[in-house]
Amino acid sequence: MEVEAGRELDILIAEKVFGFTVDREFEDTPLGPRVKQLQDKYDEYGALPQYSSNIAEAFDLLEQCFAWPKYLVHLNRIGEFWYCGIEIGGTENGVFRKHHKDVSVAICLAALKAVGEMIEGPEK
């Protein structure tokens, strides 16, 4: 099953990678879910970032959660796929790799894998 960019993947990133609390009260409205920890930081509402469909927010995820020197991030395009690897520096834990046709989704999947959240998607 192919994992797609969208609100559910963004919620998983907010909850599992950042540890945010997502309020789903407005999930079925154009405003969408809100993140309590982001209220007043970026806007009054605390809009859920679009990590899986906005490359700037996907890179923000990498910068905030997987920064050098503790982590080393590899991002490569091979054919039609983007490969993202997150390596935990100085440990025996290895590299957490995922790939996808969309670079933002590849980043999200690798981030989830790095924090121990396994969701269906391409493995390599």
Q: Tell me the C-alpha distance between 5 and 77, whole Å.
A: 18
Q: Which domain holds residue 11?
A: 7-114
Quick check: is 56 in a domain? Answer: yes
More reliable by pLDDT, 81 or 42: 81
User: 57 pLDDT exceeds 80?
Assistant: yes
The mean pLDDT value for 43-49 works out to 81
pLDDT band with cut points at 50, 70 and 90 for residue 25: confident
Quick check: is 27 in a domain? Answer: yes
Q: Tell me the C-alpha distance between 34 and 43, whole Å.
A: 11
Quick check: is 121 in a domain? Answer: no
Count structural domains, the chain.
1
> CB atoms < 10 A from the CB of 46, how many?
20
Quick check: is 120 in a domain? Answer: no
Which percentage of the chain shows pLDDT scores above 90?
Answer: 47
Quick check: is 83 in a domain? Answer: yes
Q: Tell me the C-alpha distance between 41 and 64, whole Å.
A: 15
Q: Tell me the C-alpha distance between 72 and 99, whole Å.
A: 16
Quick check: is 77 in a domain? Answer: yes
User: 114 pLDDT exceeds 80?
Assistant: yes
Average pLDDT, the chain: 85
Question: What's the pLDDT tens digit per position in 66-107?
Answer: 887 788 888 999 999 999 999 887 655 677 889 999 999 999
User: Residue 85 belongs to a domain with what CATH number?
Assistant: 3.30.2120.10
| Phi, psi torsion values for 73, nearest 5 degrees | -110, 130
User: 52 pLDDT exceeds 80?
Assistant: yes
Helix (H, G, I), strand (E, B) or coil at 23: strand
